[in-house]
């Protein structure tokens, strides 16, 4: 970056567009922090006043004394409760001191236990409020889809547990039968009953015990298989949601790249037209040795260069903030039109 030396021989940074953008970003961060702090302080005092005003008088009091709507008052209180509580995940996010009030309120739509993960996956600082709200909506839709699926899983678990309890009841019944048979066998042995009957009863008990053990093992394996199937289904659902997110992001990137390519093409075409017109003007000016005409030629070169720099800078801004790009283009058109009107 080039610097300029002023009349007092001091080095002054050249006022290029990147320098101006950097300064605006710095001022924005300071303004946002002050705004959040101020909103939180207002929220604290509103809570204090609410306790004194009394039940049923709060809305009227806010409107009459502060000209606040109920929603405005509640928003100030939300900022205080969520961004000034050191235990709040919203206050602990890295971006909390760089958020506008609108972004801070929008972020409250993300559940507390998900806000840190949301922050890691999104460039909140460089998003517009509209873009942030759109991303939060998509996030909540995915979460709702997963919640609905997990609710189905919960129901499947409940059925599995019911089946398990039913099987265990059957096993308990079998064990009770075996216990009765054992008692009967002991009694027969004490009475020295017919050995053949005793042998048959012992065989029956052994078969019942073997069947009970087999049923117990079958139940264990069945439960493990069903539980594994449920966990695999959950993993598949999460993976499908992750792929959906990646595909959506890829589509957005693709659309952005296409828009950038289209814009570059338009800029190049515009540049070519300007260069052709400038070349024609320079050709005409070259026929004259007039000093004023030479000065016009130099300034025309500067105008073209500056215009291209402004156009590219606005285009770069538009990659992150379309609304800001539109405002800057409108302002630039007004300036250029006013210059044209003077010619």
CA atoms within 13 A of residue 97's CA, in its CB half-sphere = 5
Element (H, E) at 5: strand 3-5
DSSP per-residue letters across 151-187: HHHHHHHHHHHHHHHHHHHHHHHHHHHHHHHHHHHHH
CA distance 226 to 160: 8
Could you tell me the CA-to-CA distances from 35 to 71, 101, 103, 132 in Å, in that order?
18, 7, 12, 19
Residues of the chain below pLDDT 70: 1-15, 21, 28-29, 32, 92-98, 241, 245-246, 248-253, 255-260, 263-264, 267, 270-271, 274-275, 278, 281-298, 301, 316, 318-321, 343
Tokens standing for residue 312: 């590219």
The pLDDT value given to residue 126: 77
DSSP per-residue letters across 188-219: HHHTT--HHHHHHHHHHHHHHHHHHHHHHHHH
CA distance 90 to 101: 13
Interacting residues of 337 by C-beta distance below 8 A, sequence separation 6+: none
CA distance 329 to 304: 16
The pLDDT value given to residue 227: 77
CA distance 40 to 81: 8
Bridge partner residues of 12 (DSSP): 4
The pLDDT value given to residue 214: 82
CA distance 74 to 155: 38
The pLDDT value given to residue 316: 67
Residue range 157-183, pLDDT digits in tens: 777 777 777 877 877 887 888 788 788
CA distance 63 to 224: 62
Bridge partner residues of 5 (DSSP): 11
The pLDDT value given to residue 60: 92
Locate tokens 């971006």: which residue? 95
Interacting residues of 50 by C-beta distance below 8 A, sequence separation 6+: 58
Bridge partner residues of 11 (DSSP): 5
Locate tokens 């659902």: which residue? 237
Between helices 70-83 and 58-66, what is the axis angle to 10°? Answer: 100
The pLDDT value given to residue 74: 93
What is the value of pTM for the model shown? 0.44
Could you tell me the CA-to-CA distances from 234 to 145, 149, 178 in Å, in that order?
12, 8, 41
Residue range 24-40, pLDDT digits in tens: 777 766 776 778 888 88
Share of the chain above pLDDT 90, in %: 4
Residue range 245-269, pLDDT digits in tens: 667 666 666 766 666 677 667 767 7
Tokens standing for residue 337: 């039109």
The pLDDT value given to residue 7: 43
Of 123, 98, 116, the residue nearest 36 (C-alpha): 98
């Amino acid at each position: 970056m080039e610097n300029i030396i002023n009349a007092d021989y001091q080095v002054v940074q050249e006022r290029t567009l990147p320098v101006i953008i950097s300064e605006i970003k710095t001022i924005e961060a300071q303004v946002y922090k002050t705004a959040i702090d101020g909103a939180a302080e207002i929220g604290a005092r509103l809570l204090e006043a609410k306790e004194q005003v009394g039940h049923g008088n709060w809305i009227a009091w806010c409107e009459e004394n502060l000209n606040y709507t109920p929603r405005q008052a509640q928003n100030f209180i939300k900022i205080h409760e969520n961004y000034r509580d050191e235990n709040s995940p919203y206050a602990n996010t890295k971006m909390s001191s760089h958020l506008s009030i609108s972004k801070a309120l929008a972020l409250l739509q993300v559940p507390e236990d998900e806000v840190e993960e949301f922050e890691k996956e999104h460039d909140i600082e460089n998003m517009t409020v509209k873009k942030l709200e759109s991303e939060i909506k998509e996030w909540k839709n995915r979460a709702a889809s997963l919640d609905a699926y997990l609710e189905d899983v919960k129901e499947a678990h409940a059925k599995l547990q019911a089946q398990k309890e039913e099987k265990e009841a059957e096993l308990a019944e079998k064990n009770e039968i075996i216990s009765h048979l054992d008692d009967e066998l002991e009694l027969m042995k004490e009475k020295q009953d017919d050995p053949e009957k005793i042998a048959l009863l012992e065989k029956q008990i052994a078969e019942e015990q073997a069947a009970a053990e087999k049923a117990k093992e079958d139940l264990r394996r069945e439960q493990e298989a069903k539980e594994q199937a449920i966990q695999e289904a959950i993993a598949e659902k999460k993976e499908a949601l992750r792929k959906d997110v990646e595909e959506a992001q890829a589509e957005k990137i693709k659309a952005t790249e296409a828009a950038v390519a289209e814009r570059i093409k338009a800029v190049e075409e515009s540049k070519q037209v300007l260069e052709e017109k400038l070349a024609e003007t320079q050709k005409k000016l070259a026929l004259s040795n007039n000093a004023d005409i030479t000065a016009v030629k130099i300034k025309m070169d500067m105008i073209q260069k500056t215009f291209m720099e402004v156009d590219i800078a606005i285009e770069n801004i538009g990659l992150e903030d379309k609304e800001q790009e539109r405002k800057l283009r409108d302002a630039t058109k007004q300036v250029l039109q006013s210059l044209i009107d003077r010619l």
